[in-house]
Amino acid sequence: MKNIRKFIVLLLVLITFTACGNSDNGNNEIPKVALLIGNRGDMSFNDSAVRGVEKAGKDFEVDVKVIEYGHETDKFETTFVDTAETGYDVIITGSSFVDYIENHSATYPNTTFIIFDGEVDYTNGKNKNVNSIIYSANEASYVGGYLSAKLSETGVIGFLGGQEAPIINDFLVGFIQGAKEANPNVKVAVSFVGNYNDSSKGKELSLAMHNQKADMIFNVAGGAGVGLIEAADESKFYVLGVDSDQAMIYDASGKLNFAKVIPTSVMKNVDESLYRAIDLYLKKELNIGGKDTLGLKENGVGIAENKYYEEMVSQELRDEVKALLGRITSGEIKVDTAYGKTTDEITTIRDSVRP
């Protein structure tokens, strides 16, 4: 009888232990992370974001899913809400979803939202479960503008943007400021595609700028910028890449003709910033309910240095670029920004270098 009682007591202890263990497992499930992007394959911004979260998925205890929502804007909000309803622990999106996050973040208090290249309104305790990541693209664009003006043989360079918005104009303002530092008489042709996916129009506008003598054009147009690179390959002019190290991406894919027209790229290190954000989230150190501004000093932006850069840019000019990066990082050079500027002020800056 005593043995039976001991057995029953032991069985109850085991049941209790198992129940507690199951409860702990429930609290320690692998976090689920969703990345919402338009489409893969833009060879810049979106692909960089994918690289960052997929690397985090390999390196950390985290379950990552990439969700492509396409370009049909009327479906953006539905995609966002459906993803939130699925119960992800973390949802990462770009600036196209700012309004949807602001409208719905409070409905999902147990979800952490990370928005990159944009920020939400934090006044009066709003968006307590949102982390915003802002990149000081103007800083790296200043260096890109300086380099472009130095490499130009015509004194005319170009800027191809996707849609005109503060985020894109921040590239433009820094680019123009840096170009004027290199050549006070520089001219900058500016065109906007109106979207980030029409590569045919991107090519058409790029060829038009090249006809205005632009011999190096800054690609800030996402997937539409593929048309710019095609035009540069065909018409033999240079491209300043954007967001990712575009020359090396094309090199790795075997498109060496495209790589060879890109001396360097102004990089938004989206991949590194999202990897960093997921790491901080797992450590419970993410700045949830606030924004992080990442510039040259924080390695949020930079200039690509690769074999094409070394082949196409002289050592003397590379030394100048290195010095510029240091002067901006130290605060010696103050780079202008589009944020806070009116449309008229941006227009005045553009007109000051119009061909």
List the beta bridge partners of residue 302: 267
Statement to judge: residues 63 and 102 lie in one domain: yes
Q: Looking at the domain assignment, is residue 19 inside a domain?
A: no
Residues 6+ apart with CB under 8 A from 288: 112, 128, 129, 130, 131
Whether 130 and 142 map to the same domain: the answer is no
Number of domains in the chain: 2
55 and 121 fall within a common domain: yes
Q: Looking at 280, 315, 337, which one is the last position of a domain?
A: 280
Give me the residues paired with residue 240 across strands: 218, 264
Does the residue 7 lie in any domain? no
Q: Are residues 144 and 208 in the same domain?
A: yes
Task: Assess whether 105 and 235 both reside in one domain.
Answer: no
Enter the tokens of residue 216. 């190096």
- Does residue 191 sit in the same domain as residue 315? yes
Point out the domain boundary residue: 247, 280, 313: 280
Cβ distance 71 to 316 under 8 Å? no
Would you say 168 and 194 are in contact if contact means Cβ atoms under 8 Å apart? Answer: no
**Same domain, residue pair 94 and 114:** yes
Report the C-alpha gap between 249 and 66 in whole angstroms: 20
Q: Quote the pLDDT of residue 28.
A: 58
Smallest CA-to-CA distance from 240 within 271, 206, 212 is with 206
Q: Clarify whether residues 197 and 339 are in a common domain.
A: yes
Q: What does DSSP assign to residue 124?
A: G
Same domain, 47 and 176: no
Q: What is the CATH number of the domain that holds 180?
A: 3.40.50.2300
**Which amino acid, residue 163?**
Q
Report the distance separating Cα 165 and Cα 72, nearest Å: 19
Whether residue 95 sits in one domain with residue 79: yes
Question: Could you list the pLDDT tens digit for every one of the 355 residues in the chain?
Answer: 445 555 444 444 444 434 443 333 344 589 999 999 988 887 778 888 999 999 999 999 999 999 998 877 778 899 999 999 999 999 999 988 999 999 999 999 999 999 999 999 999 999 999 999 999 999 999 999 999 999 999 999 999 999 999 999 999 999 999 999 999 999 999 999 999 999 999 999 999 999 999 999 999 998 899 999 999 999 999 999 998 899 999 999 999 999 999 999 999 999 999 999 999 999 999 999 999 999 999 999 999 999 999 999 999 999 999 999 999 999 999 999 999 999 999 999 999 999 9
Sheet containing 63-68, strands listed edge to edge, beginning at the edge strand earlier in sequence = 63-68, 32-37, 90-94, 112-116, 130-135, 290-294
Judged on CB neighbours under 10 Å (0-12, 13-18, 19+), 166 is middle
> For residue 196, is it within any domain?
yes
Residues 143 and 323: beta-carbon distance below 8 Å: no
The answer to whether position 23 is within a domain reads no
97/233 same-domain check = no
Is 3 contained in some domain? no
Helices (H), the chain: 2-27, 45-59, 76-86, 98-104, 137-151, 166-182, 199-211, 225-235, 246-252, 256-259, 270-282, 307-312, 315-330, 343-351
The pLDDT score that the predictor gives to residue 73 is 77
Residue 22 included in any domain? no
Q: In this structure, is residue 24 part of a structural domain?
A: no
Predicted model pTM: 0.81
Identify the pLDDT of residue 7: 45
C-beta of residue 129 within 8 angstroms of C-beta of residue 104: no
Q: What is the pLDDT of residue 4?
A: 52
Q: Pairing between strand 130-135 and 90-94?
A: unpaired
Smallest Cα–Cα separation from 47: which of 248, 303, 299?
248
User: How many Å separate Cα 153 from the centre of its chain?
Assistant: 30
Give the integer Cα–Cα distance in Å for 324 and 92.
Answer: 33
Tokens describing residue 121: 């309104």
**Interacting residues of 319 by C-beta distance below 8 A, sequence separation 6+:** none
Give the range of the structural domain holding residue 102, as residue numbers without chain letter: 32-135+274-280
* Residue keyed to tokens 């094309």: 250
Q: Hey, which residues does 113 pair with through a beta bridge?
A: 91, 130
CA 56/CA 76 separation, integer angstroms: 25
Q: Which of 250, 280, 310 represents a domain boundary (last residue)?
A: 280
Question: Is 244 contained in some domain?
Answer: yes
Q: What is the CA radius of gyration of the chain?
A: 24
| CA nearest neighbour of 168 among 96, 216, 229 | 96
250 and 122 in a single domain? The answer is no
